[in-house]
Amino acid sequence: MEVLVTYDVSTETAAGRKRLRRVAQVCEAHGQRVQKSVFECVLNPQQLEMMKHRLQREMDVGADSLRIYRLREPRDRFLEAIGRKPPYDLRDPLVL
């Protein structure tokens, strides 16, 4: 499934800035950054649950916000992107 992950981490304190980096690292491990606090991810249900669990461990639920949207497929039919494109399509095979 394809999901869009967005977050808002309070960075008013040094601890908040650390949380922001850790939340971003979790998201980077599961998907591709498309904006500063927005990631597109292609995950199976188990991977999604693991990512949510890791994110909840890093967040301060009293100060931070996380939203996960399931994208409708086929994505190309429901998504309009204007401007700079991500470096790669998550659905294409990755050749190393």
pLDDT of 74: 73
Residue 72 phi, psi dihedral angles, 5° rounding: -75, 145
86 membership: H or E segment, kind and range: none
Alpha helices in 1-96 (DSSP H): 14-30, 45-58, 75-78
Residue 88 lies in a domain: no
Tokens of 92: 């294409």
pTM score of the predicted model? 0.79
pLDDT of 13: 95
Contact indicator for 80, 13 with CB cutoff of 8 Å? no
pLDDT in tens, the chain (96 residues): 999 999 999 999 999 999 999 999 999 999 999 999 999 999 999 999 999 999 999 999 999 999 999 988 777 777 777 787 776 666 676 566
Residue 86 lies in a domain: no
Residue 90 lies in a domain: no
- What CATH number is attached to the domain comprising 20? 3.30.70.240
